[in-house]
A and B are shown apart, each in its own frame.
Chain A
């Protein structure tokens, strides 16, 4: 499987990183979720082969790994963009117009919820609450939180993420 994230890092390096993670968690109870989190950190998403490798490592059925990976919102089975946009849809944001912010960003990027732009630059997601309700409406791009958004400003902010 070749690298799809555009980072140029080759498969061997990723595999090696994954093996290191396995070593770190060997013998730890309840390691499945942290393993999936770390694997996703390395690959950007969870390719089927990686999940199979995790199942073999933990000696659990693949169905269990797949079941856990699809249960939680954090795990992704398809490649994602370099920049993850998460638009808050919490109550405070909702009453202050988060829906319009979402529409404006979605229109600008030409993708819908949980979709990635064709150039893999952005992935657009919504999140139930970012806990920055005082600044509603809010969105998070990667680890940066942007608050007091207007539909226009939200679209502008995205420009700085290449």
Chain B
């Protein structure tokens, strides 16, 4: 027996062609299907050697292999570490394992040494010999690689004491960064597929749906529709063939939680889809993944193949009579395909354009059949709910928004990464608690929540509890959960223009309000940023935004004015400064900047003059230089080149 999923002995009769119902329990607790004492003892010993996230006595080194850490070079570390361990004769005593994303990509590549839970950050190839010699052989932790809290300067020995993790409640992300996503046995060892067996053998489909309803789980894709209710609609819909679709087309700039879940714990998504398939009466599932996520697609393919091999996917799953197959569809790069009706038409092989609803996909979805669509994070929540009960889940969060939510915290904040927190937590706790405050001691200005369809919230709204309703009333939306923190150096008009630029490019063009409206709004915003703003622009923008919001066909158009409306609501003075004073208060909009040289700081070195492509800078050697404003093209080269900070912009 090499893997937890292999036969434990000759008496073990499990095979994918004749699956045993107790297969999963047997793998997690030792053989249940036969009573050979020797086998039991051997199996127990084997189980003890399997890594369990909670506590493990075996020494393991976990290296993050998510997209973030891989780009920082974590792949090379794995081989180097294995070689170094072999040199010390430790290859059998210490296991080296790759894991999915820990969520703290900022500090990558990350390495964890279990069972002590020691947390190393920014590990480089040169550090490997020291880690092995000092820590794994000598038992002495390599202090210089520990995480240092930028606020207090304190070092954290284990990941549990790192403030970033200590303030989170990681349920959906519990396995991410702790199990090997390319190994089904790891997932099973941490209670994986137990929820599926519970649903199949102890619950009717109606009971499963009831449990999801009790949990109060709402769609994590953004709209927040109650999941249990959606499932019951699909169950009640008439049709001999039904589909389950997982929306993994995470296109929001600034959001990457779905990618991390797929890369770090793909089986949790498969298990959620299986349970959903059982509950709604479907036998086929699709996962629609963005093509920009090659690693997620790769890991999903492995996970599907392994689940099929173990009889957890396919026909007659665990001898229950339930059939379910899952296919991967790689998206082809269109943001609008995140919208459910557009996504379905894209799977069918057409241009991914949305259609009016009703009929909703629950009645008429993929190829006209009843279809249940949920987001990656929604599906990943399902096994937890079935395993622990709906009431357990409903005990977390606020009255109308239950459970936890993963946010992608990015921008000008100290700790960027994935953050899982209970619903109802305030924005301030996320940004200043988990996120560790604003970088470089700058002042907080706004937080953009919900991607291009969300809104910008100012300082006054930081104590707002995060749930679907209060965010909507503040002019933002939960969306996919991207949180982009902005400081005083961000221009809000420029941000609004940035999002409009995106939605304008991604509008599918089917309906006029979205196609024409986004274009006109973008033109106005660009004009304002270029210093050509007119007095009536704000009013026109507001009117256009309302019209598009109320009349567009799909979610993309209905929400794309949110960045404009929310910045106009909270940062109107910045628009006015651009239009009336021809001034950009954050000093971002190029056309409105004036570059000058501070004669007191200028040493007359001449590097600014050499860097100026317009020849606008002149001056004697070792004498303060001056910029001719009429010739300056505002490229900012001089400012970058000046070593003395003498070039100033206003």
Contacts and interface: CB of A to CB of B under 8 A. Distances in A.
Contact of B330 (A29, A37, A133): A37
B346 interface: yes
Nearest to A94: B498
Contacts of A96: 411-412
Interface in B326-377: 329-335, 346-352, 367
B349 A129 contact: no
Contacts of B349: 29-33, 68
| Chain A interface extent, by class | 35 or more
Contacts of A64: 350
A10 B352 CA distance: 34
A145 B253 contact: no
Interface in A29-48: 29-34, 36-37
A75 B291 CA distance: 11
B256 A133 contact: yes
A133 B332 contact: no
A144 B67 CA distance: 9
Interface string A35-68: 0110000000000000000000000000010011
A136 interface: yes
A112 interface: no
A134 B417 contact: yes
Given A94-B498, A95-B411, A146-B71, A73 B333 contact: yes
B609 interface: no
A131 B335 CA distance: 14
Contact of A135 (B68, B255, B484): B68
Contact of A75 (B105, B332, B486): B332
Contacts of A148: 72
Contacts of B417: 134
Nearest to A31: B349
Nearest to B254: A91
A11 B256 CA distance: 40
A31 B347 CA distance: 9
A89 B251 CA distance: 12
Q: Interface residue tally of chain B, by bracket?
A: 35 or more
B159 interface: no
B105 A33 contact: no
B348 A131 contact: no
Of residues A37, A129, A131, A147, which shows the largest number of chain B Cβ atoms within 10 Å of its Cβ?
A131
A145 B293 CA distance: 11
Contacts of B334: 71-73
A138 interface: yes
Nearest to B348: A30
Contacts of A94: 253, 498
B350 A92 contact: no
A31 B330 CA distance: 12
A132 B333 contact: no
A74 B351 contact: no
A77 interface: no
B506 A128 contact: yes
A93 B256 CA distance: 13
A127 B259 CA distance: 16
Contacts of A36: 332
24 contacts: A29-B348, A33-B346, A68-B350, A91-B482, A92-B254, A94-B498, A95-B411, A95-B495, A96-B412, A129-B255, A131-B67, A131-B256, A131-B292, A133-B254, A133-B255, A134-B108, A134-B410, A134-B417, A135-B68, A135-B105, A136-B411, A143-B294, A145-B70, A147-B68
Given A29-B367, A128-B251, 10 more contacts: A37-B332, A71-B508, A90-B253, A92-B411, A95-B484, A128-B506, A129-B253, A132-B68, A133-B482, A135-B68
Interface of A: 29-34, 36-37, 64, 67-68, 71-75, 89-96, 127-136, 138, 140, 143-148
